[in-house]
Amino acid sequence: MNYLIVGIGGFLGAISRYGLALWIGQKWGRSFPFGTFVINVSGSFFIGLLMYLFTEKFMVNPQWRLLLVVGFLGAYTTFSTFEYETGRLVKDGEWLIALMNVIFSVFAGFVALKIGELIAKSI
Question: Whole-angstrom distance between the N-terminal and C-terminal Cα of the chain?
Answer: 31
Residue 36 annotated as binding site: no
Q: What share of the chain is helix, strand, coil (3-state, %, to 5)?
A: 85, 0, 15
Residue 77 annotated as binding site: yes
Binding residues for Na(+): 74, 77
Binding residues: 74, 77
